[in-house]
C-alpha cells in the first residue's frame, strides 16, 4: 500500500475517533452529576464506537470491502458487549466502594469506629487509613479542648478566690480606718500595700497571658549574652530567696549567646526561679544552668521541691495549674499563671520547655530549649 493511502487511512480514522470522543465528552458532561458507572459506560461505548465509525468512513473511501466491514462489525459488536458489561460491573463495584467510604466519612467525629475496608483498591484503603488518622487527631483535639476548658474553669475559680481574699481584707481595713478603729494605722497601710501589690501582680499576669495567647506578643529578638541575663535575674530574686532561706546559684559559661527578647526571656527565667523558690524548703537550693547543645541553647532551673506526680507532669504548664500536695502543701501558689506564661514566651521564640523529676530526688528540673 502506498504511503499516501496509509496517510489517508490514518487521517480518516483519527478524525472519526476525534468526533466520537467529543460526543462522548459532551455526554459525560451532561451526566456529570450521575453515578460513576454512567461515565464508565460512556467510556466503553466511545472505545467501541470510534473504531466502527472509522471503519465505515474508510469503507466509504473504498479502502476496505463491505465483507471486511461486516466481519469487523461482528467482532467489534461482541467486544462492545463484553466491554460494556465489564464497565458496568466495575462501575457498580466502584459505587459500592464509594458508599463504604462515604459511610466512614459520616462516622468521622461521631465517636463511631472507622470500618476498615477490605478487598478494595489501594487508593480506597489509603483514604480509609487517612480517615482513621483524622479521627485519631480529632479525638486528641477534643481531649485537648476538654482539658483547656477545664483549665479555664479552674482558672476562673482560683482567680476569683485569690481576688476575693485580698479585696475582703482591703475592705475590712478601709472600714476600720474610716471608723477610727485601727489601733495601728501604719500597720494597716503596710498590709494594704501588700494586698494591692498582690492584686497588681495577678492582673499583670492575666494581661500578659492574654497577650501571649492572642498572638499579640512578638518577641523583639536581639543577640543576648546569657551569663549577664541570668546574673541579673538571680540578683532580682535573691532578696525573696533569702527571706525564705533558699540559696540561689548559677552556672553559665562565657560566650553562650542566644537570639531572644531579653525582657521576655528574663521574665520566663524569673518565673521559673520564683516557682522553684516557692516550692523549695528552707536551706534548699535553686540552681540555674545554661549550656550550648547541638542546634540549641538550654537554660535549666533545678529546685528542691518534693517532686511532681507523673500523672501531672503534662499539666504543669497549663493555665491555673498550681500543683498538688506533693509540692509543699500550705504554700501560697498564686493563680497558677507563671508556668503558663513561661511556656507562652518560650513558644513565641519557637522553643520548647519541659519539666522532669530529678532521679534520685527530691527536686525538679525545668528546661528551656531555644534555637541556637
Grid cell in block for residue 70 = 461486516
Is this prediction's pTM over 0.75? no
CATH (residue range 125-213): 1.10.287.130
222-371 is classed CATH 1.10.630.10: no
**DSSP tally for the chain: helices H, then strands E:** 8, 7
Q: Do domains 125-213 and 222-371 have the same CATH topology?
A: no
Grid cell in block for residue 209 = 497571658
pLDDT digit string (tens) for 186-217?
A: 888 888 888 888 788 778 777 777 777 776 67
pLDDT digit string (tens) for 309-368?
A: 887 887 788 776 665 433 333 344 455 678 888 988 898 889 999 999 988 778 899 999
- Domains in the chain: boundaries: 3-107, 125-213, 222-371
- What is the spatial distance between Cα 206 and Cα 156, in angstroms, rounded to a whole number? 11
Closest CA to 46 of 66, 78, 16, 72: 16
Closest CA to 45 of 23, 74, 14, 60: 23
Most confident region among 11-20, 100-109, 284-293 by mean pLDDT: 284-293
For residue 225, pLDDT over 50 is answered with yes
Beta partners for 173?
none
Q: Is 367 left (phi over 0), alpha (psi -120 to 50) or beta?
A: beta
Mean residue pLDDT across the chain: 79
Amino acid at each position: 500500500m502506498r504511503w499516501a493511502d496509509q496517510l489517508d487511512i490514518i487521517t480518516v480514522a483519527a478524525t472519526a475517533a476525534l468526533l466520537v470522543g467529543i460526543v462522548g465528552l459532551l455526554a459525560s458532561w451532561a451526566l456529570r452529576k450521575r453515578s460513576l458507572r454512567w461515565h464508565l459506560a460512556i467510556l466503553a461505548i466511545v472505545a467501541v464506537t470510534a473504531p466502527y465509525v472509522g471503519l465505515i468512513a474508510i469503507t466509504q473511501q473504498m479502502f476496505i470491502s463491505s465483507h471486511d466491514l461486516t466481519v469487523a462489525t461482528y467482532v467489534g459488536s461482541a467486544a462492545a458487549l463484553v466491554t460494556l458489561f465489564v464497565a458496568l460491573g466495575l462501575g457498580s463495584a466502584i459505587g459500592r466502594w464509594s458508599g463504604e467510604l462515604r459511610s466512614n466519612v459520616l462516622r468521622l467525629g461521631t465517636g463511631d469506629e472507622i470500618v476498615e475496608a477490605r478487598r478494595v483498591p489501594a487508593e480506597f484503603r489509603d483514604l480509609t487509613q487517612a480517615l482513621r488518622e483524622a479521627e485519631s487527631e480529632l479525638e486528641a483535639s477534643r481531649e485537648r479542648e476538654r482539658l483547656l476548658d477545664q483549665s479555664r474553669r479552674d482558672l476562673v475559680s482560683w482567680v476569683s478566690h485569690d481576688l476575693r481574699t485580698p479585696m475582703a481584707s482591703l475592705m475590712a481595713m478601709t472600714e476600720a480606718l474610716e471608723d477610727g478603729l485601727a489601733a495601728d494605722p501604719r500597720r494597716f497601710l503596710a498590709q494594704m500595700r501588700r494586698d494591692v501589690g498582690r492584686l497588681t501582680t495577678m492582673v499583670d499576669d492575666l494581661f500578659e497571658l492574654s497577650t501571649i495567647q492572642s498572638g499579640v506578643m512578638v518577641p523583639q529578638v536581639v543577640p543576648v549574652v546569657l551569663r549577664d541575663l541570668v546574673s541579673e535575674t538571680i540578683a532580682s530574686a535573691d532578696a525573696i530567696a533569702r527571706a525564705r532561706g533558699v540559696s540561689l546559684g548559677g552556672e553559665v559559661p562565657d560566650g553562650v549567646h542566644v537570639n531572644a527578647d531579653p525582657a521576655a526571656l528574663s521574665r520566663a527565667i524569673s518565673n521559673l526561679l520564683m516557682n522553684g523558690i516557692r516550692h523549695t524548703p528552707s536551706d534548699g537550693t535553686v540552681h540555674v544552668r545554661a549550656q550550648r547543645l547541638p542546634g540549641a541553647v538550654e537554660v535549666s532551673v533545678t529546685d528542691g521541691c518534693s517532686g511532681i506526680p507523673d500523672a501531672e507532669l503534662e499539666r504543669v504548664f497549663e493555665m491555673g495549674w498550681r500543683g498538688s500536695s506533693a509540692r509543699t502543701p500550705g504554700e501560697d501558689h498564686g493563680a497558677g499563671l507563671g508556668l503558663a506564661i513561661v511556656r507562652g514566651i518560650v513558644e513565641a521564640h519557637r522553643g520548647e520547655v519541659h519539666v522532669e523529676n530529678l532521679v534520685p530526688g527530691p527536686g525538679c528540673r525545668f528546661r528551656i530549649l531555644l534555637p541556637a
